[in-house]
Structure 1
Amino acid sequence: MRRLQAVIFDVDGTLVDSERDGHRVAFNLAFEEAGLPDRWDPVPYGQLLNVTGGRRRLVRYLVARGHGPAEAEELARRLHTRKTDLMRDLIEVGAVPPRPGAVRLLTELAAARVELSVATTGNRAWVEPLLARTFPVVRFRAVVTGTEITVLKPDPAVYLEAMRLTGHGPEDCVAVEDSAAGVSAAVQAGLRCVAVTNDYTRDHDLSGAAYVGEGLDDPAVLEWFRSRLTT
């Protein structure tokens, strides 16, 4: 087995619990500012995550609540724009912490001269501040976001772009994901994928992953990576 050269990380639910602690909270603040009665509690929000993409999620939700398609699209556009601003505010005050074990794993990989990158379909407007605020000592070679790659996972485009930018082929890289859509995107790009579940993805079909762990602090996940740094 070749020594691991690069790891490409997803962000939402993988490096940070940003869905529950960030996006959900920011959506609720945007609802409140707009004078809407809607509030997304943690458990029902997990069901909404079956629709990928925050704006698409909003449109689907608003249509189900009785808004016409055109009205739902316009309202979702305004709410999602404001949600992104509020998400940045939450990041600035440290309200979106790293998942347990994230800093340790990133630090160990960087110390072993493994190249680190990010492939997310989140908006660059909040992804870059989050990475800078949460992982200030980590240098990411490439950060590919949904601002540049607008097709959502499980489409592999964001991973293909990350590999193009870094010059690594699939044989040199591993992806780290938390969800079925993310694992599918990585596998379709030809990558081995380590899945680290969270409260929202424990029931996902992650059978395409090379390894499935309970989090970035799972000792077995750490050992999986360490065993590939010495070959």
Structure 2
Amino acid sequence: MSGLVFDCDGVLADTERDGHLPAFNETFEHFGLPVRWSEDEYADKLKIGGGKERMASLFADPEFVRAASIPEDEDARRDLLARWHRTKTAAFKRLVSEGRIPPRPGISRIIPAALDAGWTVAVASTSAQESVQAVLESAVGKEVADRVPVFAGDVVPAKKPDPAIYRLAVSRLSLDPADTLVVEDSRNGLLAAAGAGLACLVTVNGYTRGEDFAEAVLVVSELGDPGRPPVQVLANRSGATPGDYLTLEDLSACVQGGNP
């Protein structure tokens, strides 16, 4: 296999519940905004790709706009969003540096092994570049992270489920789409990968387990690690035959005959 491309949030680590949600709420408190997202409310916000875009959804609520004295001018709103998002990104990075967001099972095992096997490994995410880099370095260490190119934030005009981020990664890294596997955790991410003509393995999390993953070649509870409970295989349309945890051979089998 030539390419292995990971999403960040929910794939490299369970960042949404333990990182992004508290960072959003800390930012709202910092700016004195009359909103705090519950876990259920945030689950709904996850249908929107991108942190600034999730924050911008608050502008659709006239009561919030009045209570927070949000300006009507679009340029002023963009500046406001940028300030909010910078503060939120700093809060998120602090949570990562404090060790509050450990990597998901299998990540610190699979990524170095894939690199050592000669695969091109990358990360493609709708989150801010700084946040993604922080999570990656926390998950695999700086030495390994330095070998993994990151495509994130506003490097493309449209975010997932638009396939632009994956098309960019394939183009920049000269990957063969027929020999590249994406690892995602959400339907939006799966649709982005499928739209770019890439096979996709899904590792679900608490926010996404109930979503529709019909286009995925393999759906599992996690990548797994030796000594952990066996992974749960929720759907398998590939040639992979996972054991207690996924191996590089399983990932290769997901691509062989598994493209959408």
Q: CA deviation at 1:108?
A: 2.8
Percent identity for Structure 1 against Structure 2: 34
Matching residue of 1:102:
107
The answer on whether the counterparts of 2:50 and 2:153 sit within 8 Å (CA) in structure 1 is no
**1:104 deviation in Å?**
1.8
Distance in 2 (CA, whole Å) between partners of 1:120 and 1:94 is: 21
When structure 1 is superposed on structure 2, of 64-73 and 105-114 the one drifting more is 64-73
| CA-CA distance at 1:110 after TM superposition | 2.6
Q: Is the 8 A contact 1:142 1:165 kept in 2?
A: no
Q: Deviation at 1:100?
A: 2.0
1: CA distance, partners of 2:59 / 2:160 = 22
4+ residue runs of structure 1 moved beyond 6 angstroms?
none
The alignment status of 1:207 with 2:204, answered yes or no, reads no
Residue 149 of structure 1 aligns with which residue? 156
Query: Could you tell me how far apart the structure 2 residues matched to 1:170 and 1:14 are?
Result: 21
Match of 1:115 in 2: 120
Question: What is the aligned-residue RMSD (CA, Å)?
Answer: 2.4
**1:11–1:228 distance in 2 versus 1, CA, 3 Å:** closer
Q: Helix, strand or coil: the match of 2:144?
A: coil
Q: Is the 8 A contact 1:116 1:142 kept in 2?
A: yes
Contact kept? 2:52, 2:82, Cα under 8 Å: yes
**1:190-210 Cα distance to aligned partner (Å, 9 max, x none):** 110001100011111111111
Structure 2's unaligned 5+ residue stretches are 225-230, 233-241
**Which structure would you say has the larger RCO, counting Cα contacts within 8 Å and 6 or more residues apart?**
1
Superposed CA offset, 1:26-48 (max 9, x none): 11111111123422232331122
TM-score (normalised: structure 2) = 0.79
The separation in 1 between residues aligned to 2:11 and 2:57, in whole angstroms, is 24
Q: Which residue of 21, 24, 33 maps to 2:21?
A: 24
Note if 1:138 corresponds to 2:138. no
> Which of 36, 40, 43 does residue 37 from structure 2 map onto?
40
Identify unmatched segments of 5+ residues in structure 1.
none
Contact 2:123–2:151 (8 Å) recurs in 1: yes
Alpha-carbon contact 1:28-1:40 (below 8 Å) kept: yes
Task: Give the TM-score taking structure 1 as reference length.
Answer: 0.88
How far off is 1:186 after superposition? 0.6
SS at match of 1:67: helix
Name the structure 1 match of 2:189. Answer: 182
Question: Is contact 2:5-2:182 (8 Å) kept?
Answer: yes
